[in-house]
Amino acid sequence: MKVLGLALATALFILVTPATAAEYQGRNIDGKKLAAKAYYYATGGVYNVQVRFKDNRATIYFDGGSQTTIRLKQRAIANPNHIEGFGKLGQFPLGGILSIGLDNDSNFIGNSQLSDSPLAGFWRISLDSKALQNFIRK
């Protein structure tokens, strides 16, 4: 019963929290997949990905169909080559500090446990400049 109450309270909080779009140079960049490279601290790997922004989140799409959603450090993007966010594989951020998820894909990250480091869920995204400029011009 306590879990149901917590879930209901969290859902209510999310519904009443105002959403604001991710933006670059004052323009809304929500909704379109953009080519990018993503660095993940937990693996030390850099991945060719596509990224779709929505509010203060970015969904990272990997080759092969897997994806993860991270919470952006800032929704206003000043440098498209240095976009930071947090989120562990298999988790989906809710609100400001909560996340839910069922499982981490241990085959993808190379081990079954993520580091206890505070940076374990750190991502850095670098957008492809041509894809971004094409999106901004539209």
Q: Residue 116 burial (CB < 10 Å; 0-12/13-18/19+)?
A: exposed
pLDDT tens track for 33-46: 999 999 999 889 99
The answer to whether the CB of 108 falls within 8 A of the CB of 66 is: yes
DSSP summary character for residue 79: -
Q: Does residue 4 register a pLDDT over 80?
A: no
With respect to CATH, is domain 20-137 assigned 2.30.29? yes
What is the residue-averaged pLDDT of the chain? 77
Whether the per-residue pLDDT at 18 is higher than 80: the answer is: no
DSSP tally for the chain: helices H, then strands E: 3, 11
Average pLDDT (114-124) is 74
pLDDT at 10: 54
Contacts of 90 (CB under 8 A, 6+ apart): 68, 101, 102, 103, 104, 105
pTM of the model: 0.68
Give the residue extent of every domain in the chain.
Answer: 20-137
Neighbours of 133 (CB within 10 A): 11
pLDDT digits (tens, 9 = 90+) for 62-106: 998 899 999 999 989 999 999 999 987 665 555 555 455 444 444
Q: Which helix (H) or strand (E) holds 136?
A: helix 129-137
Max Cα distance, the chain (Å): 51
